[in-house]
Amino acid sequence: MTGPLSALPSVPDSALPRAVREGSAADRQSYKAALGFERMFVDQLLKSATGGKGFVEGPQGSAVDSALADAMVANGGFGLAAQLHAQIRGRA
């Protein structure tokens, strides 16, 4: 994929709500973009919370932060993705 969405983290279809999975390709793409944004946002919040040091010191620290952000978003996150998706699709 090229364009601005290619910079967002990859999101599997299994992370999408059923209504989005069963919707149009545009719905899936916009929700994936919203989830990718939320994941990046959560990752930055975690980095901020630890003063940029991460939860684990050393070279694996960034990977631990990223894995935690992935897990948080995969389990519902903060609900930001759903709100962004509604805005993107014009249903807010």
- 10 within some domain: no
pLDDT in tens, the chain (92 residues): 456 556 666 777 887 889 999 999 999 989 988 998 999 999 899 888 877 776 777 777 778 888 888 888 888 889 999 999 999 888 65
Q: What is the pLDDT of residue 61?
A: 72
- 34 within some domain: yes
Looking at residue 22, the DSSP 8-state letter turns out to be T
- 83 within some domain: yes
Written as six digits, the tokens of 2 are: 């090229």
Q: Please tell me the distance from the alpha carbon of residue 77 to that of residue 84, in angstroms, as a whole number.
A: 13
The structural domain count of the chain equals 1
- 53 within some domain: yes
Supply the range of the domain harboring residue 63: 24-89
- 15 within some domain: no
Q: What is the pLDDT of residue 79?
A: 92
